[in-house]
Amino acid sequence: MANYLGHRRVQRTGRDSYIVSLPKDWVRDVGLNKGSEVAFKVLDDSSLVLIPSKTEWKKSEENKLKEYMVLIDSKEDIQSVYRKVKALYVSGAELIRICFKGKDNILKFKTVVNSLVRDTLLGSEIIDETPTEFTIQILVKHPEFPVEKAIRRMSIIALSAHMDALLMLKNMDEGSIQNVMNAYNDVNRLNLYVVRQLKFGVERSLFRELGFKTPKEFLAYRIVVNDVKSIAENARSMLNNIVAFRKMVENQTLFLKELIDEEVYSQILNFNSLARKLFEDSLRATFKWDYNQADNIISQTESLAALENDIITLISSKKLDPNISAIFRLIFDNCRRIIEYARDIAEVTLNKTVEEISSEKSS
């Protein structure tokens, strides 16, 4: 090992004290002198880390708010500014100063950034504003809204949005459309927050502070949150297609004798309920890191293959109008993806816990 500095014998002084001499090269390199102080930290494997006082001071400096400045030119693309501020949020920025070059289009940029702070960046507020500059501070702290709680909330919202979109094939109103879009925005907001928290935890090795048992959970939860976000994205996509379909019927651009087939629609609703339950079970297995429950979920996903084929056969056998058949296939495919996400999450749990339930064979 490059940093190996040899062994030191532990010596006893007095009744309850033990001492170990420090390597001379190390003492010189870190700038210690007689009377200098060192801090001690015990790691999970019982190793003892010595931290020189200068290093402690550096760490206190690192604990200062991470501040960044975004300089905006009046000719810059608004969406580019939007993406830049959002990326800084995810990367762990705690203060974001936005400065405008010139006075052209300032109001337009301010409107966009205000909307971003209000609707997308969870826990952020504009704390200072002048005619040419304003400052965003991210105020939410890690213990206040744990990652697991955020993912649970994401899942509830995403699955509800998916169900609302599915029900709109039969009964559509403007309020329901807005509910799905609001749910999509809420899921996206929570997703950015979770990614920010995970990145922060990885950089500072704060897995215990975030409620994790091992650092491996950072990657596991990153996969989970991406699957939850995908459900909300699919719900929005399904909503757009259903709205377009129904408007074509209402505007008589598309002439149909019957809008939906009740038998097919009922079968898809039933399949969606099974998919939703599997997804919720897969999340519970992950939060408990339960290998057996995750393994059982994968078995259940495999057993649903026959039901999938039955529904596809039913849609084909009905000889429906091609437009109705296409919208049914689209909806059914989105329901089937929820099962795929449930399986992905269950496999994450298996990969994380398989070593714990298996005995290691030494060679």
Query: How many C-beta neighbours within 10 Å does residue 271 have?
Result: 21
Which of 61, 84, 102 is the last residue before a domain boundary?
61
Residues 54 and 76 in one domain: no
pTM given for the model: 0.75
Residue 290 within a domain: yes
Structure tokens at 172: 């559509």
Contacts of residue 347, defined as CB under 8 A and 6 or more positions apart, other chains included, come to: 294, 298
Residues 149 and 33 in one domain: no
Q: Which of 51, 50, 69 is nearest to 60 (CA)?
A: 51
Residues 280 and 306 in one domain: yes
DSSP 231-274: HHHHHHHHHHHHHHHHHHHHTTSS--S-S--HHHHHHHHHHHHH
Q: What are the mean pLDDT values of the chain's consecutive 10-residue runs (363 residues total)? A: 68 74 79 76 73 54 71 82 88 86 74 84 85 83 76 94 89 82 92 88 72 79 94 94 82 72 91 95 93 94 90 88 87 94 94 78 47
Residues 102 and 160 in one domain: no
pLDDT for 116: 84
The total domain count for the chain is 3
Which of 123, 138, 153 is the last residue before a domain boundary?
138
- Segment holding 314, helix H or strand E: helix 305-317
Residues 267 and 211 in one domain: yes
Residue 4 within a domain: no
Residue 31 within a domain: yes
Residues 97 and 164 in one domain: no
Residues 100, 127: Cα–Cα separation, whole Å: 17
pLDDT for 143: 59
DSSP 79-141: HHHHHHHHHHHHHT-SEEEEEEESSTTHHHHHHHHHHHHHHTSTTEEEEEEETTEEEEEE---
Residue 100 within a domain: yes
Q: Treating both helix axes as pointing N-terminal to C-terminal, what angle do 216-250 and 262-288 enclose, rounded to 10 degrees? A: 160
Rg of the chain in Å (alpha carbons) = 28
Which of 138, 172, 189 is the last residue before a domain boundary?
138
Residues 210 and 344 in one domain: yes
Structure tokens at 185: 């925005």
319: alpha, beta or left? (left if phi > 0; alpha if psi -120 to 50): left
Q: Rounded to 5 degrees, what angle do the CA atoms 112, 225, 68 make?
A: 40
Residues 240 and 166 in one domain: yes
Residues 235 and 328 in one domain: yes
Residues 56 and 88 in one domain: no
Q: Residue 37 sits in a domain of what CATH number?
A: 2.10.260
Residue 6 within a domain: no
Residues 111 and 180 in one domain: no
Q: Residue 280 sits in a domain of what CATH number?
A: 1.20.58.220
Residues 56 and 123 in one domain: no
Residues 7, 10: Cα–Cα separation, whole Å: 10
Note down the domain range covering 52.
11-61
